[in-house]
Amino acid sequence: MRRHRFAALSVVLLAALAAAALSAASAANRAPASTQAAAGSITIAIGSEPTSLDPQLKDDGGERAVSRNIYETLMARLANGKLVPGLAAAAPKQIRPKVWRVRLRTGITFTNGEPMNADAVVYSIKRIINKKFNSEQVSFVGTISGARKVDSRTVDITTSAPDPILPSRIYWLTIVPPKASKAQGFAEKPVGTGPYMLTEWRKGDRITLQANPRYWGKPKPRIQSVTYRFIPEGGTRLAGLLAGDFDLITNLLPEDVKRAPKSVSAVGLEHPVVILNARPGNQLTNDVRVRQALNLAVDKNGIAKALFGGFARVDDGQFLSPSWTGYNPALRPYGYDPARAKQLIEAAGANGKTINFVGESGRWLKDKETIEAIASFWRAAGLKVNVQIFDFGEYLNRLFDKENRADAIYLTSSNELLDADRTLSAYYAPSGIGASNSDQDLEKWITQARSESNVAKRNALYRQATRRARDRAYFTFLVNIADLYGTSKRLQWRPRQDSLLFVNTMGLSG
């Protein structure tokens, strides 16, 4: 039996709770949805306020929770992840190795009256890839290098190299109106083609959307208005749900599944991980022995059971899910070996040294608790840990500031493209927006894989890259967590594989 446990966790108690929670969630998921729907209003509690409502600017889940109801994309996904046409009339066709042709639907307008046509699509593509725009979403659009109008409803998208996942990339890329998006304050006054429109953003308190009466697509909105509240603390979200103030809360705490009026869960995209600074310099984490020790010091099974109540699985030396293209089935997790961790810390001459550990609180499920647990494990291995918790906007600034990166920075990474390129381009390749290493072999392999159309060769390159990152411990690998939601009894909804909250798929019973 392992005796080392951080004080805040009781694995046996919470494991028992997890079993009951799993049963409750399963029962909720089996309950048949009502075919009746009533027009009305709902309130959704999310963990953080959007940093912007410009859908191309920030890599911010709070923004996506709201703006994906306002904006749309060329390709869309069904709830099970299957790609289908969105604003495009059909799936794109690869007409040359580096050119994809997209035909657009006709008769769609933005809510300010601007047409959704080839001009808007070309503009949107050029806007997000413009280096001066400085989008945090560049790893999603990857190889896209430009766009050209063929006629009013046809666009050719060019890539810097052959790109087998271009259809997935344009599922992510939102289309914005050329005139409105150039206006001052666009980030606070969004204009899209989607099923909802902004009516109010009361900073620090709420955002309210109302149904777009001229929405072109299906399903048509059944909920007439939705209000988003920004509630970082999980217990407060649950209290609001129990009081009838909220109809849907994100990041339901595992220990609260039985208390919620209803709970729903789905296999999650989110992988909590710690990015370790392995770039040249004098920082503590430049030593591979220290980075390996930081992995060996953390009891991942204990975190999965005690913090996430069993709604998590230990990541096996990568933060890719088995269903994603590029997943490496040969990798295994770092074991929990506190004695070996101490030996490596001492061999590196790091005993008693300080590691600066940056994080945030409230955006992701059990984020602060996970950060505190990791810090306690690292302290037990012989390090001093300086935990710095920032509000989400400042946290993002530090996450994407590669020149002033902390020794360690917590991240819950998701990958809505369901392809390794998104994760590896952003966090593994040294040029990635969130990367903290200088491994040029990684850069080469990931770049080659991005344009490799042969599936076997592409997977081989990704396996090389993930093996290297695992062995050199560029991250502290943790767990893959499920998406947990609490809902009111009246809300009829099922979560999606990509974790997006489309309000037009929701209804009210009775």
Closest alpha carbon to 147 in 120, 126, 173, 117: 126
Q: Are 274 and 409 in contact (CB under 8 A)?
A: yes
pLDDT score recorded for residue 109: 98
Query: What does the domain layout of the chain look like in residue ranges?
Result: 36-51+194-267+483-508, 71-182, 269-481
CA pair distance 463, 484, nearest whole angstrom: 30
Q: What is the pLDDT of residue 283?
A: 79
The architecture in CATH of the region 269-481 reads: Roll (3.10)
Distance CA 251, CA 237 (A): 9
Whether 36-51+194-267+483-508 and 71-182 share one fold: the answer is no
User: What is the tens place of the pLDDT at every residue in 243-296?
Assistant: 999 999 999 999 999 999 999 998 889 999 999 999 998 679 999 999 999 999
- The answer to whether residues 92 and 166 touch, using CB atoms and an 8 Å cutoff, is yes
Identify the pLDDT of residue 510.
67
Please state, in angstroms and as integers, the Cα–Cα distance from residue 439 to each residue in 248, 331, 348, 421, 430, following that order. 43, 19, 21, 17, 6
Q: What is the pLDDT of residues 34-63, one digit of tens each?
A: 333 337 999 999 999 999 999 999 999 899
Q: If we measure between CA atoms, which residue out of 223, 226, 253, 222 comes closest to residue 237?
A: 253
For domain 36-51+194-267+483-508, the CATH class is: alpha beta
Q: What is the pTM of this model?
A: 0.79
Q: Which two tokens stand for residue 311?
A: 């709604």
Q: Between the CA of residue 319 and those of 274, 361, 443, 460, 492, what are the distances in Å?
A: 10, 21, 17, 17, 32
Residues 179, 447: Cα–Cα separation, whole Å:
35
| Whether 77 contacts 171, CB under 8 Å | yes
Question: Amino acid identity, residue 424?
Answer: L
Stretches in the chain below the pLDDT threshold 70: 1-38, 282, 510
Residue closest to 122 by CA, chosen among 68, 170, 70, 89: 170
Q: How far apart are CA 191 and CA 176, in angstroms?
A: 7
| DSSP E strand stretches across 30-151 | 41-46, 75-77, 83-85, 93-96, 99-103, 144-151
| CATH annotation of 71-182 | 3.90.76.10
pLDDT at 416: 87
Q: What is the pLDDT of residue 369?
A: 96
